[in-house]
Structure 1
């Protein structure tokens, strides 16, 4: 069984959270990158048994469509006489010649009869075709004549009209082609999905295209043949052009599954429509939702990535705003983040009497704006902080993170250089610049910065950990593991090293050791406020991968959410656990919550993408229950 993925965060996540890579977050990102198509197209295509992620095996065959639309022409029996080897005596292996001749005579008679009927059928068809070859629709038999025709003759006339429509289509005379297909539908007794699908194709070529009519015709075609891929594709394309992306995802997904994931264009269309749909919904959510702090786990992790600096000291005649600012920092120290936000906002409104206090206030408010995903607001506040106190290194480092979040790496590196000019001996500068290099995959430069930070202050645990992880990313596994063992001895009372070391062990599939490390981390940090719940989620992943124990994994994630209800990685993991159990409704619920917890638009887009990929797969199983059985028999690919 493959490792359980979680919905990946944005690529900038390592700058913000504390957790060194590869953490739960980075493993999810790597899995997502390696299995991008499967996530979007097959992650929720689950068997009735709910045993994992499936795609079609090459040996499985597509079920035949209903007989009413299996072919645009008449079916031929294709019977063949069996030939048996004669013995030298004149007898075959099974009996006398007479016994063989009698059934052969009957068989020949039957074949002659079939050939004669086929010839007559073709002759009638040819006659009708010749009559209409150069004729206008006005020359088609009138209602009285049609009423006197047999059903067979009407069906043959419909087939001929379809053929004429095809010729007109190839000549790009779409209006007359529509007339032919329409008349074919009217005169035929046996309705054929091809008639509707071909007419739908004409509507998409009108100028301007008539996509609504295309959708209506594809609806009719799919009523006759639910697995008619051409009609599915045409309807999906029309729906996409109508801006109905959710329905387009449904049809492109069905097409991809029916064609066993062999249609790269359909796969690309699923991704394209999902991306548009997710971006549209994410932007709408961002416009309408109230600003909300992320989970305490996330906030405390971010704040822990900075070395503590001295608490602000109030001036002699402190103002009311000064006193309120002190309350904000007291709340921050107590991990009462909501009150810290309220107090710092109030302090700025009341007015802070001295310049350094104002710079601290804008730094703190900018930090919280950054944490809620308001990067522009964070940038504005941090710039005010630096205007007031240009030597405030922490504000330079934080605004560098904001610039990275906004995709402006050049400005971020400029911020680090400015910080170095003001205080080249501040170890935070090099730690956070190392994080940026880490994100960019420049691990050697990252290690150099981590080592520089450590040389200035070797008591900060994260520089040691991050350097060890960077070595791991470079492939220096033995060196990385040795570094972690040293870190465990250097910081015996801290839970973080055991958690991160456990993640590396899990990455190497050393399950027993990793679980022991997660348990040790939980034990060491049990009294920490707020508690770090990531070891619980990591342990959930470990027990799932090790024992496929979905129940225990789910219980561990639930425990994490009881401690920290807004823990996004626990929510994302529960979504994937639900998929593993084949519970699409539950998975969709968790993906919806994941989107609500998302801090940035990118994170929100990822969650919404997975949600709607799962919805499309659920719709597929509803519309094609007969294929659900087949899916349960397919081998997992991971």
Structure 2
């Protein structure tokens, strides 16, 4: 499978570490809080280390935060009068009784007191009223009256729109009620009003954002338009298999031969149609099955013998038999055709079509072991896709179980070890990855990709003192292997050897001129190493010229626009990437990023929040 690692372990590695170009059939990045959140939080931390004093969003607009203390008008005198002199004092006294009931767990009584305080309070005391509503919401929350909690939080915010405690409580109850968009708006507002300084709020925002992304992904998954990845992507995918029974099969002259020829010629867009057409042919096994033409030929020969006519010459019969072979499939070739079709369906975003075929091939004792093992490897990929949305460890027992079965069928199968090691590397289980990648190298010494990934894994562990030099030697040995140059460039980037990394990435673009991914990596390096925004953006735009459907380029450009503060442009780019997405896991990731940008845009408009200038902070963001 195509493998592009974007993460690093060095302490000063790229701020884009969250973005990983993963397995071609599972091209999913780790979903975090979103670049906008991360940027603000990181920027604030940097400035704190420099001793710079920053103003919060509330301070910049002349508003004070209400999270740490109640509104000024709520504060009470040291000694309460027994006979309140004003309606406000009367309301405050009743509120204090409610607080005592609340602390004693008598929530119904507390609610009665807070309601009375709301009725007594003068309507011009907005800060105080907002606190009364918030107190009543707290008591209602203790009784599990979620709709009433949301209603009182909304009332509190009508009187004090920037009351962070009310926003946080309403976010929590909206999340419980399944109103994830509203919850995300509220918790994002809290993060902004707190200047992204409260780690608890940031964690909650991340959780809500992930949930919202998964929710939108489920809603839009049915609208996924099947489409194959780019030619460069597919070439790398098929090259990653050392013992693919489909690619090792002679082309021949039967109905499946056209598909094999197209695969050999990189005519990937024709493959699905050719496989579907080939599977319409009858199956002929060792001469036992008869096609319509063979039946007609036998009947004609028998009729000729009965009538005394001369039988057909042997050469003519051989010609007829050769013609018949072109019209049917052997069971083995039919299995290969089914395997290739299911693989293409998996890569084009049709897992529901691919899975039954792969399971049928993997579970049948009548199917050749090499075909079964290959099907199991691809079922592992499919299982990893299914595990990705919302799971911390995507290498579930289901995923690893498929590899175990493949190795039981074909002990020391290099492809099973390779792809298992690749998934382990992707999920940072480096020691285990090294074990399986080493076995893959031993089983398929002619395939450079396992060797390159093993050297990169060794570099990542820090245990291989000469790992970087080994990667360099592999690029010299396999000069035309884009994977070798790509991972060498990544390792150079992680060790801050920017000039050498740029040369290596440029070599990848020369080897894979139709791959948008290579240009995106080169553009990101320009941004990070040289603070060259325009040059970096130009390279990423070049990626879309050579590969218009490059989701990675669209997502990266969208992220840059978020950091520039161009949220409308960012949302448009995220929409384009979402339209190209092939899996629910990818959808969840992209929808979360889009929602993060859209919510901030909404808050800037609805609440009048002045968003910090992201363009001015680009140098700090990279």
Smaller-chain TM-score bracket: 0.7 to 0.9
Alignment-derived partner of residue 125 in structure 2: 191
Alignment-derived partner of residue 98 in structure 1: none
Q: Alignment partner for residue 264 of structure 2, among 333, 352, 364?
A: 333
Alpha-carbon RMSD = 3.7
Contact between 1:296 and 1:564, CA under 8 Å: does it hold in 2?
Answer: no
SS at match of 2:410: helix
1:360-375 to structure 2, matched below 5 A, reads 360-375=336-351
Alignment-derived partner of residue 70 in structure 1: 71
C-alpha separation between the residues in 2 aligned to 1:493 and 1:418?
A: 34
C-alpha displacement of 1:203 = 4.8
Alignment-derived partner of residue 127 in structure 1: 83
Q: Alignment partner for residue 293 of structure 1, among 194, 212, 228?
A: 228
Distance 1:619 1:54, change over 3 A: farther
Do structure 1's residue 517 and structure 2's residue 504 form an aligned pair?
yes
Distance 1:448 1:467, change over 3 A: same
C-alpha displacement of 1:515 = 1.4
1:41-440 to structure 2, matched below 5 A, reads 42-43=37-38, 45=40, 53-54=43-44, 59-60=53-54, 63=59, 65=63, 70-73=71-74, 126-128=82-84, 153-170=86-103, 171-172=106-107, 173-185=109-121, 188-203=122-137, 205-206=139-140, 209-307=144-242, 309-314=247-252, 322-323=254-255, 325-352=256-283, 353-375=329-351, 377-386=353-362, 387=364, 390-406=367-383, 407=396, 408-421=398-411, 427-439=414-426
1:152-194 CA-partner distances (Å, limit 9, x unpaired):
x444444444445445545421442243033124xx1523233
- Higher-Rg structure is 1
Alignment-derived partner of residue 490 in structure 1: 477
C-alpha separation between the residues in 2 aligned to 1:576 and 1:365?
A: 35
C-alpha displacement of 1:214 = 3.9
Contact between 1:9 and 1:603, CA under 8 Å: does it hold in 2?
Answer: no
Distance 1:275 1:430, change over 3 A: closer
C-alpha displacement of 1:305 = 0.9
C-alpha displacement of 1:435 = 2.4
**Which range moved further: 241-250 or 199-208?**
199-208
Consecutive unaligned residues of structure 2, counting only runs of 5 or more, are 1-11, 284-328, 384-395
Consecutive unaligned residues of structure 1, counting only runs of 5 or more, are 18-24, 47-51, 77-117, 130-152, 316-321
Contact between 2:65 and 2:193, CA under 8 Å: does it hold in 1?
Answer: no
Distance 1:175 1:631, change over 3 A: same
C-alpha separation between the residues in 2 aligned to 1:195 and 1:631?
A: 36
> What is the aligned residue count?
533
Contact between 2:415 and 2:440, CA under 8 Å: does it hold in 1?
Answer: yes
Q: Alignment partner for residue 563 of structure 2, among 564, 570, 580?
A: 580
TM-score (norm 1): 0.73
1:518-537 to structure 2, matched below 5 A, reads 518-526=505-513, 531-537=514-520
Contact between 2:380 and 2:403, CA under 8 Å: does it hold in 1?
Answer: no
C-alpha displacement of 1:544 = 0.7
C-alpha separation between the residues in 1 aligned to 2:467 and 2:616?
A: 42
Contact between 1:200 and 1:217, CA under 8 Å: does it hold in 2?
Answer: yes
Alignment-derived partner of residue 491 in structure 2: 504
TM-score (norm 2): 0.74
C-alpha displacement of 1:275 = 2.3
Distance 1:351 1:575, change over 3 A: farther
Distance 1:239 1:443, change over 3 A: closer
Distance 1:67 1:330, change over 3 A: closer
SS at match of 1:190: coil
C-alpha displacement of 1:274 = 1.7
Alignment-derived partner of residue 108 in structure 1: none
